[in-house]
Structure 1
């Protein structure tokens, strides 16, 4: 349970990193949606890491977090496309 709560908290940070990694013409969504994408990216990254054979280490699983940031970036781009905000407002 603590692992999931930590993943959600880090998901908020990952959402902001995902927005930063996403192409600039695809990241024009509200901050609340960015944070939800970050939580989703963190959970997807956690799941993918396990599916790819990742195991718990005594330190930080850097690859798990890289996968999470990339998943969040994809979710940010998908959210921008779905909400019709893939182009910056003028």
Structure 2
């Protein structure tokens, strides 16, 4: 993977993290750095899952890949939020 691919993955991860946070109802008590980190991880894992399902490289916008990534980010935000609330 080239450096431009890594940079674009980070930028997309930020967007995915914010969208995942918006999907989770209620107030989340996690910081923006947690949101960005979760988004980046969800973007990488979601791309891997979409590649495995052979829906990653389609014509136009890869909607299925985006939905997988946002769902993973929402799950991650909700999980970290629950861990933070217990403390």
After TM superposition, is the score higher than 0.5?
A: yes
If the length of structure 1 is used for normalisation, what is the TM-score?
0.80
SS for the counterpart of 2:55 is coil
Unaligned runs of 5+ in 1: 86-90
Indicate the residue corresponding to 1:78 in structure 2: 79
Q: 2:9 aligns with which of 7, 10, 17?
A: 7
SS for the counterpart of 2:30 is coil
Measure how far apart 1:7 and its partner are: 2.1
Task: Work out the number of aligned pairs and report it.
Answer: 84
Runs of 4+ more than 6 Å apart: none
Q: Deviations over 1:28-59 (max 9, x none)?
A: 21111011111111112101101222241242
Indicate the residue corresponding to 2:29 in structure 1: 28
Unaligned runs of 5+ in 2: none
Indicate the residue corresponding to 1:38 in structure 2: 39
If the length of structure 2 is used for normalisation, what is the TM-score?
0.82
SS for the counterpart of 2:54 is coil
